[in-house]
Structure 1
Amino acid sequence: MNELEKRQKQRIALSAYFLLSGICFSTWASRIPTIKDNFNLDEDTLGNLLMVMPASAVIGIPLSGWLVSKFDNRIPLQIASFTFLLSLLFIGFAPSIWWIVFALVVFSVSLRVINIAINTQSIAIQEKFEKKIVGTFHGIWSIGGILGVLFSTIMIKFKISIEWHLLLVAVFGILMILFAFPYLLKNDKARSGNGFRLGKPSKYISLLGLIVFFAAICEGGMYDWNGVYFKEVVKEEVFTYGYLLFMVCMTISRLTIDKMMEKFGMQKLYILGSFLIMTGVAMAVVFPYFWTALIGFCMVGFGVSGLYPMTFILSGKAKKYSVGIVISIVSTYSTVGMFLGPPIIGYLAHAFGLQRAFITFIIGGFMFIPLSKMVFDHLKNRD
């Protein structure tokens, strides 16, 4: 096998893990309204359930940092992928809310390890290509999200039980990772810069972390509350339509984000994303009807699409640690935002109504303007 074939197979294998992560996460998110109904949860209680994930993700902070500094990350990636799939399956068969809590702990910790591993590998594989490809990996994650929510829509429309639904997804996922694992990038472990120590990160890393924190609040909130919003505010019976279109728009944008970065530059794209998120959420809140909410969520999908790939690319410019460690630190902010945002929306919805709670996303969307400016000012001053 020549070098060209080898790197192409590594790219395809890693793409499979991005795809699977998107499928499984959107499968979980699209079934949240089902779990809410099955266990008769109100918004406040659902918020408490979703809070399990940020709490358990804290366990994954030292674990993921230690794994990327000590091991070839394809090994923890494969182990975490198995536990990720098994925990998703267990969510479907859980006999009580406490068993779902247990499954979500495993789901959350596994997802964190997966995210660190696949993003670290994506930066390493990027070095083998002249053109930018990191955005495409995130686009593939979004394709997985579309496939997951599309399959969920079919399951819901034909009234297939959540047990059979999640069993099919888990079996498919296990087969996928068994076939892809042998082709992953090997020995992806930095020889220096891995001396991870708890402490205050640099200003640059903190700014990148805050960007993905607010990106996670906006994106995670859309994943977990989009379906509930369409069901309870828009009053749409097939409540996954908004989620599906959100994922389609995010995917279209992510598959072109590499070219967009080269043409317009990242700083302008951060500002554009901010305006699209604020405008889209405002449209869905002020006009909570099928088409206006659908268009609004599409705008949010376009707006959030570039935030992660651009920020992970900027992580490679940090000086203090290796890329794997920087991504681990930055992803800590993302993990907290992704799983802290949804329960906060639940508490606000319980107090003020879900429609008003969505204003939180407008505030989050605004934050990308000042934060991105500080990041690029820092890079200019450093150079």
Structure 2
Amino acid sequence: MQPTASISRNTTFSLAHLQQYALPLLFTLFGVIMGSWAGRIPALAERVHVSHSALSMVLLCGGLGAVVSYPISSYLMGRFGARKTLLISGLALLCVLVAIGMAPTVPRLMLAVLSLGITASTFDVAINSAATKREKQTGKSELSKLHGLGCAGGLAGATLGSLMASLKIAPATHFVMLAAPLAVLLYMGYSMLEADDSVEKVEKKSFSLPRGPLALLGLLGFLGSMSEGSIADWSGVFLKEHFGASDGLAPLALSSFSVMMLMSRMVGDKLKGRFGAQRLVTIGSLVSACGLFFAVLAPNAYVALGGFAIAGLGLSLLFPFVFSAAGAQGPIALAGVASMAYSGSLMGPPVIGAVAHYVGMQAAIAYVGGLSLVIALVASRTRLLK
């Protein structure tokens, strides 16, 4: 009987060992997909010949998809649980990515980007639900590091987009080449994830706005989402239009932003214990404003990359700390803050597009720098941000 018991123990150890890599893999995978999309926005916009105002409407569809996805994610989580939901939404997300690359007209591109918002947000809800469940089971905080790995994936995706653009590979070909291996990795992560398919209780309301002291946390989520989404969607366009950057150089704005965000989030938990979340978010937002104003006034695209890197450092800890503070108040509070953040992703990119259309790209990026100043003011007055 001893050999059998030994085999059983080894099997259990092996499964537990594999399970610890499932969530890091899935968060990184999500980052790669979204970074790949964001990194090819300039090329996609040029291919279908859209103006700033038309591109803002395309990006608006992504934010709208994120907002309306909540009832869909509620249904899937309630019917299948987080594990199966992330597989379903992840495969759908990869199909949508290919559809974006192949969209021949602006209306079809808008429809594809709307689908991107729906599938990406549903996948995001599923993996964060799985991560939260694991935190409760193990008693260890992991979300900050997992979100850091998402940044690493976004950096890899944007950098790969830069390489593909420099090789003159069309977005459609790029996304088709990416979809198959990422689908295999997605299934691997799904298979390694702990086999708990219990259903989740998720609010069925499309919006659940926070009130009282939580409203300031929600406002921080809203402004932070506006800022990050605007930088992800417009930084490459800014470099291309204002400095004449190539298709290969333009996506590096997002890469520089993401790499500093990644490095900061990996040490964010230790910094929080030493300095406190409120101080870090407040000072970080001021740093972000300086970086964005530096990018606006930079003499060339290479110097502007440094400005976007500084902005990534400054904004990096906002979401982990805001979501942590909201989560401490309960799941309904977290859902409310998430709803406001989704609405920020809806508002940000088209507002920047409108500013760029009427005033210019420099003013649009400076506007995002102004948002960072507002974030610093709100964070300094947010008592729940401890």
Q: TM-score, normalised by structure 1?
A: 0.89
**Contact 1:204–1:318 (Cα < 8 Å) also in 2:** no
Q: Which moved more, 1:347-356 or 1:166-175?
A: 166-175
Q: 1:313 aligns with which of 307, 316, 324?
A: 324
Q: How many residues align?
A: 374
Q: 1:190 to 1:76 in 2, by over 3 A?
A: closer
Post-superposition CA distance 1:178-209 (Å, at most 9, x none): 11112224447688x85666665343443322
Q: 1:289 to 1:19 in 2, by over 3 A?
A: same
Compute the displacement of 1:53 (Å): 1.7
1:240-251 to 2 correspondences below 5 Å: 240-251=251-262
Q: Which residue of 2 aligns with 1:124?
A: 133
Instruction: Supply the AA of the counterpart residue of 1:354.
Output: M
Q: 1:14 to 1:22 in 2, by over 3 A?
A: same
Structure 2 CA distance for aligned equivalents of residues 7 and 256 of structure 1: 26
Structure 1 CA distance for aligned equivalents of residues 208 and 253 of structure 2: 41
Q: Which moved more, 1:195-204 or 1:364-373?
A: 195-204
Q: 2:244 aligns with which of 235, 258, 262?
A: 235
SS of 1:201 mapped into structure 2: coil
Q: Does 1:334 align with 2:345?
A: no
Q: Which residue of 2 aligns with 1:361?
A: 368
Q: Which residue of 1 aligns with 2:29?
A: 20
Q: Which residue of 2 aligns with 1:271?
A: 282
**Contact 2:57–2:350 (Cα < 8 Å) also in 1:** yes
Instruction: Supply the AA of the counterpart residue of 1:73.
Output: A
Q: 1:65 to 1:318 in 2, by over 3 A?
A: farther
Post-superposition CA distance 1:120-150 (Å, at most 9, x none): 2222222344553211101100110111011
Structure 2 CA distance for aligned equivalents of residues 217 and 263 of structure 1: 28
1:180-195 to 2 correspondences below 5 Å: 180-187=189-196
Q: Which residue of 1 aligns with 2:356?
A: 349
Structure 2 CA distance for aligned equivalents of residues 293 and 379 of structure 1: 31
Q: Does 1:158 align with 2:173?
A: no
Structure 2 CA distance for aligned equivalents of residues 265 and 47 of structure 1: 37
Q: Which residue of 1 aligns with 2:296?
A: 285
**Contact 1:221–1:341 (Cα < 8 Å) also in 2:** yes
1:97-112 to 2 correspondences below 5 Å: 97-112=106-121
**Contact 1:214–1:337 (Cα < 8 Å) also in 2:** yes
Q: TM-score, normalised by structure 2?
A: 0.89
Q: 1:218 aligns with which of 221, 227, 232?
A: 227
Structure possessing the higher radius of gyration over alpha carbons: 2
Structure 2 CA distance for aligned equivalents of residues 58 and 132 of structure 1: 27
Compute the displacement of 1:152 (Å): 0.8
**Contact 1:271–1:368 (Cα < 8 Å) also in 2:** yes
Q: Does 1:9 align with 2:18?
A: yes
Compute the displacement of 1:218 (Å): 1.1
Q: 2:73 aligns with which of 53, 64, 67?
A: 64
Structure 2 CA distance for aligned equivalents of residues 160 and 303 of structure 1: 33
SS of 1:233 mapped into structure 2: helix
**Contact 2:321–2:385 (Cα < 8 Å) also in 1:** no
Structure 1 CA distance for aligned equivalents of residues 215 and 369 of structure 2: 22
SS of 1:365 mapped into structure 2: helix
**Contact 2:322–2:385 (Cα < 8 Å) also in 1:** no
Structure 1 CA distance for aligned equivalents of residues 56 and 266 of structure 2: 33
Runs of 4+ in structure 1 displaced over 6 angstroms?
2-5
Q: Which residue of 2 aligns with 1:254?
A: 265
**Contact 1:72–1:186 (Cα < 8 Å) also in 2:** no
Instruction: Supply the AA of the counterpart residue of 1:240.
Output: P
Post-superposition CA distance 1:146-192 (Å, at most 9, x none): 1101111111111112121001221122111111112224447688x
